[in-house]
Amino acid sequence: MTIKTKGYAAKSATSPLTPFEFEYQDPAENEIQIEVEFCGICHSDIHQARDEWGGSIFPMVPGHEIVGKVKSLGSRVTKFKVGERVGVGCMVESCQTCGSCKESLEQYCEKGFTPTYNGLYRETKKPTKGGYATQIVVDQNFVLKIPDGLDPAGAAPLLCAGITTYSPMKFVGVSRGQKIGVLGLGGLGHMAVKLANSFGAEVTVLSGSPSKKDDAKRLGAQHFALTKNEDEMTKLENHFDLIIDTVAAKHDVNQALELLKRQGTLVMVGISDKPLDLGVFGLVMKRRKIMGSLIGGIRETQEMLDHCGKHKITSDVEVIKAAQINEAYERTVKGQVRYRFVIDSKSY
């Protein structure tokens, strides 16, 4: 038997997304069929649908911030029940045998993880298809439980934007009273503010746009500073334990480094496609650190979701219909979303 699925796909790098029908095979013994309720629009969906990173596979059904309900199960699935609310993030497979996978750091799988869309399944070499669709079939090891009480639309972006900012905070060890800077207040930044706040940190949003000040406070930041204002920046020198840098374009990292305390850490989670100019002085003089971080492993993603369930944290979302996807892409590129578009799967 096959599972008929409706969704939206990009047929080429230059065409808008249009309605697209495809099929899944019934779940294999370790797989789960999920009826998708909501899927977030991540900026990386747009980069890949437009082939801005190269190597894109078309037709492409994007989407890796997926929340839905279990519809059917393979014969060996033990972790999930029909009807349960679940999520799928950026990965659907990894080798499960390398050192990284053994530590549940599947995102750093030494053989490379299989992305939820725009990738090829390890065995069949068929292209993966994401969450801009009514259904998805996924290995149970890559399915997460969504805690009761979380709004499903608001929970969808936790699967990428949430874990991307949670994981480095856990790695660095954010604790109560620490001073955390969040550079850039977009989809990633707004999750970083909420999560840092939930750890009891003192949060400052560092932004280039004064219009974000009220939102920063509303989201839970204690302070706001304009990166263009030199006086404000000078006052914050040697101030932060950690700065989460969410800016996905070329920008001045040296300014951010100067704001770190001795041994403070600058974590890059936004990916600029152009190299950044790094002045080594800023690192050496205060033994500062700069690191990158990619999403999070499956175990840690579940931990993040449970944390969000306990603290009632979801993303601020604007729910749209499938027919609005292309318009939402334009608005996301222009930064006109507060803070994530989420597609309602009933609209396909």
Instruction: Specify whether the CB–CB gap between 245 and 223 falls below 8 A.
Output: no
Question: For Zn ion, which is the closer residue by CB, 264 or 297?
Answer: 297
Instruction: Specify whether the CB–CB gap between 4 and 133 falls below 8 A.
Output: no
Question: For Zn ion, which is the closer residue by CB, 109 or 244?
Answer: 109
CB of 54 to Zn ion, least distance (A): 18
Question: For Zn ion, which is the closer residue by CB, 109 or 182?
Answer: 109
Evaluated on CA atoms 316, 321, 325, 330, the torsion sign reads: negative
DSSP H stretches of helix in 174-229: 187-198, 213-219
CB of 34 to Zn ion, least distance (A): 18
Question: Could you say which DSSP state residue 323 is in?
Answer: G
HSE value, Cβ hemisphere, 13 Å, CA-based, for 13: 10
CA–CA separation, 104 vs 161, rounded Å?
19
Q: Is residue 310 within a helix (H) or strand (E), and if so which, with residue range? A: helix 298-311
Question: For Zn ion, which is the closer residue by CB, 44 or 345?
Answer: 44
Q: Which residues bind Zn ion (CB under 5 A)?
A: 42, 44, 94-95, 98, 101, 109, 160
Tell me the residue number closest to Zn ion, measured at CB. Answer: 42
CB of 152 to Zn ion, least distance (A): 18
CB of 306 to Zn ion, least distance (A): 20
Residue 39 CB coordination number (10 Å): 34
Question: For Zn ion, which is the closer residue by CB, 94 or 198?
Answer: 94
CB of 162 to Zn ion, least distance (A): 10
